[in-house]
Chain A
């Protein structure tokens, strides 16, 4: 009964958070900050530490007009790379604390230009969060429900220069305080050993930096399945829908920012030992409907993370 109530509450929260963002929100399609998105929401056992170092490479070379990919006759090449240090600690089985630190690097090159590529790099933003898991897997439960929230800290370099101040999407950090929240529900499928289905929604409400720039708020819905094998490799495949509103500067919309994306995200986790493993994940856009005239948008994102649990 209690479990059903929790499930209902989680669904209500998902819906509610979605509407909140629709009313208030916005994001940039290519800044480093979306690199924060693919975070692991699964729970930890009591008093367990989880450390992960992740490297992410985000190629942003697709020129998109609405939903249509078109040829970029300036031959631009753009990528963002990030290193994330994700530390989690389970205070209790149902409460997990989390801290994320990052560094980021951006590269940009215009193929038709004689100019050399430019790049910026530096310390990225951080995040502090808490996750509450009122329902978790046990002998009596095949369901897990988590609710989390936190703040994104403007720890990063947000005044990097190329010549003068680099554009906002080339900054390692956003320079703003942002709020983050998520709900995650997972369930082990009866009769199909090791198969878990899950759904999650996460949102980010962004603040402005000292140049009055505010990345668009966003909401991300995820739905997918994980296959836990008895061997060392686990697999997952899920779809991710991301909606972001336009960025703002001086309270006005920044043209050609924001939109909707659907990604397919395959991942493989390899547990080398009981405590150590690594995970590789890809993110491929399969649909997008972008605001404005044209935007450079994600071509693919790959991520490799090494984790260690104590």
Chain B
């Protein structure tokens, strides 16, 4: 009698539990092939579009802005003669802003966990030129998805890593990152992304607690490199198979310019610790001329002058002198937290 009662109970329990215990996960529309190790792709938590990209941005004049502090960082982009700025404060909560200037459509992507701001030219897409936040991370870094094919793109690899467009390289557009104080000196007449984003957010709050300043990470990365503090901001440069970084806080004030040859590519790197920026360009022009640069002080947006007497601005435009109107070719580079750069680009050289 006792045993029979137990058998019934056990049977009922198993019947109730079994369907619930079956391991299962569902996902909608992902192809199985990844160019990155799938086991290192992490679900960040909010889910696809749980972080809402901005696709109808509104811009206001720099002079009307009151929501930024002097040391807040902004990302600037130049399309033709138009310059637009995007503050980290808004990007921290949206990660992607889709915008079109003239015939150029772009997605400005920003990953708050890796401190990386990269713009991609999306003009080639036909049906939908916008990107969204997939909710996935690789090495703690944003994986964006294009809304035309639903393919997934690794931000720091500038590469489609999953979906119909797997293997396709993104087309980066050169951006400049600096403090709000410096931006106002660089481009006082420019426009900046408004807090009127269409979403109810408090942009005065940094949503990641003490993440920017602490030594801890929120997601694991494939490899940690302890040569620099994890959250040190560096300008990373990719030259063929080799990579190198310039810690921004090692640039002398007001502006330091370094003429360098890295992996057989002649480059110039200009930066300022105080103004919190670093940019780099190729020194060799298409006509074969090799330029050498020196810093220029107090003439922002001009930051350097070459040995021929041309003055160049922070976006690499020749402003005055014999090569005025010409644009320097940006190197393949972007700013990132050191831990993230080191996780993506193992064995990178550090320039002090």
Tell yes or no: B47 within 8 A of A by CB: yes
Q: How far is the CB of B181 from chain A (nearest CB, A)?
A: 25
Tell yes or no: A135 within 8 A of B by CB: no
Asked if B43 and A163 make an inter-chain contact with CB atoms under 8 angstroms apart, the answer reads: yes
| Size of the chain B interface, CB-CB below 8 angstroms | 53
Taking a contact as CB atoms closer than 8 A, the residue among A74, A162, A212, A255 that contacts B209 in the complex is A255
Binary per-residue interface labels of chain A (105-136) against chain B in the complex, 1 for a CB within 8 Å, 0 otherwise: 10011101111111111110000000000000
- A249 to B45 alpha-carbon distance, docked (Å): 14
- A101 to B18 alpha-carbon distance, docked (Å): 12
Binary per-residue interface labels of chain B (123-150) against chain A in the complex, 1 for a CB within 8 Å, 0 otherwise: 0000000001001100000000000000
- Among B49, B136, B206, B214, chain A packs the most CB atoms within 10 A around the CB of B49
- A105 to B205 alpha-carbon distance, docked (Å): 33
Asked if B42 and A165 make an inter-chain contact with CB atoms under 8 angstroms apart, the answer reads: yes
**B20-28, B80-88, B242-250 - the one binding chain A:** B20-28
- A85 to B17 alpha-carbon distance, docked (Å): 9
Asked if B25 and A162 make an inter-chain contact with CB atoms under 8 angstroms apart, the answer reads: yes
Taking a contact as CB atoms closer than 8 A, the residue among B2, B5, B38, B49 that contacts A110 in the complex is B49
Asked if B42 and A164 make an inter-chain contact with CB atoms under 8 angstroms apart, the answer reads: yes
Tell yes or no: A253 within 8 A of B by CB: yes
Asked if B49 and A112 make an inter-chain contact with CB atoms under 8 angstroms apart, the answer reads: yes
- A74 to B38 alpha-carbon distance, docked (Å): 27
Interface of B is mostly: loop
Asked if B215 and A74 make an inter-chain contact with CB atoms under 8 angstroms apart, the answer reads: no
- Among B22, B43, B214, B217, chain A packs the most CB atoms within 10 A around the CB of B43
Asked if B23 and A121 make an inter-chain contact with CB atoms under 8 angstroms apart, the answer reads: yes
Tell yes or no: B39 within 8 A of A by CB: yes
Asked if B45 and A113 make an inter-chain contact with CB atoms under 8 angstroms apart, the answer reads: no
Asked if A118 and B25 make an inter-chain contact with CB atoms under 8 angstroms apart, the answer reads: yes
- A282 to B106 alpha-carbon distance, docked (Å): 49
Q: Contact size class for A?
A: 35 or more
Taking a contact as CB atoms closer than 8 A, the residue among A104, A115, A310 that contacts B5 in the complex is A310
Tell yes or no: A76 within 8 A of B by CB: yes
Q: In the complex, which residues of chain B have a beta carbon less than 8 angstroms from the beta carbon of A123?
A: 21, 23
Assess A293 versus B52: contact at CB under 8 Å? Given A110-B46, A115-B47, A167-B44: no
Q: Which residue of A lies closest to B2 (CB)?
A: A310
Asked if B216 and A251 make an inter-chain contact with CB atoms under 8 angstroms apart, the answer reads: yes
Q: In the complex, which residues of chain B have a beta carbon less than 8 angstroms from the beta carbon of A256?
A: 207, 209
Asked if B20 and A166 make an inter-chain contact with CB atoms under 8 angstroms apart, the answer reads: no
Please report the number of residue pairs spanning A and B whose Cβ atoms sit closer than 8 angstroms. Answer: 151
Q: Which residue of A lies closest to B152 (CB)?
A: A163
Q: In the complex, which residues of chain B have a beta carbon less than 8 angstroms from the beta carbon of A292?
A: 207, 209
Asked if B22 and A121 make an inter-chain contact with CB atoms under 8 angstroms apart, the answer reads: yes
Q: How far is the CB of A26 from chain B (nearest CB, A)?
A: 13
Tell yes or no: B40 within 8 A of A by CB: yes
Tell yes or no: B297 within 8 A of A by CB: no
- A161 to B139 alpha-carbon distance, docked (Å): 17
Q: In the complex, which residues of chain A have a beta carbon less than 8 angstroms from the beta carbon of B50?
A: 74, 76, 110, 113
- A110 to B50 alpha-carbon distance, docked (Å): 6
- A188 to B207 alpha-carbon distance, docked (Å): 48
Q: Which residue of B lies closest to A257 (CB)?
A: B209
Tell yes or no: A7 within 8 A of B by CB: no
Tell yes or no: A201 within 8 A of B by CB: no
Q: In the complex, which residues of chain A have a beta carbon less than 8 angstroms from the beta carbon of B51?
A: 74
Asked if B20 and A105 make an inter-chain contact with CB atoms under 8 angstroms apart, the answer reads: yes
Residues of A at the B interface (CB closer than 8 Å) are 51, 53, 65, 70-71, 73-74, 76, 81, 83, 85, 101, 103-105, 108-110, 112-123, 157, 160-170, 211-212, 249-256, 292-294, 308, 310
Could you give 24 example pairs across A and B, Cβ below 8 Å?
A51-B13, A83-B20, A101-B17, A103-B17, A103-B21, A104-B20, A105-B20, A112-B49, A113-B132, A115-B48, A117-B26, A118-B26, A118-B28, A119-B25, A122-B21, A122-B22, A162-B27, A164-B136, A165-B42, A166-B43, A211-B220, A252-B210, A252-B216, A252-B218
With A121-B22, A164-B43 given, can you name 11 additional A-B contacts, CB distance below 8 Å? Answer: A103-B20, A112-B49, A114-B49, A115-B49, A165-B43, A167-B42, A250-B216, A250-B217, A251-B216, A252-B215, A256-B209
Q: Which 3 pairs of residues, A with B, have the shortest CB-CB distance?
A: A252-B216, A164-B41, A113-B49
Residues of B at the A interface (CB closer than 8 Å) are 2, 5, 9, 12-13, 16-17, 20-30, 38-52, 132, 135-136, 199-200, 202, 205-211, 214-220
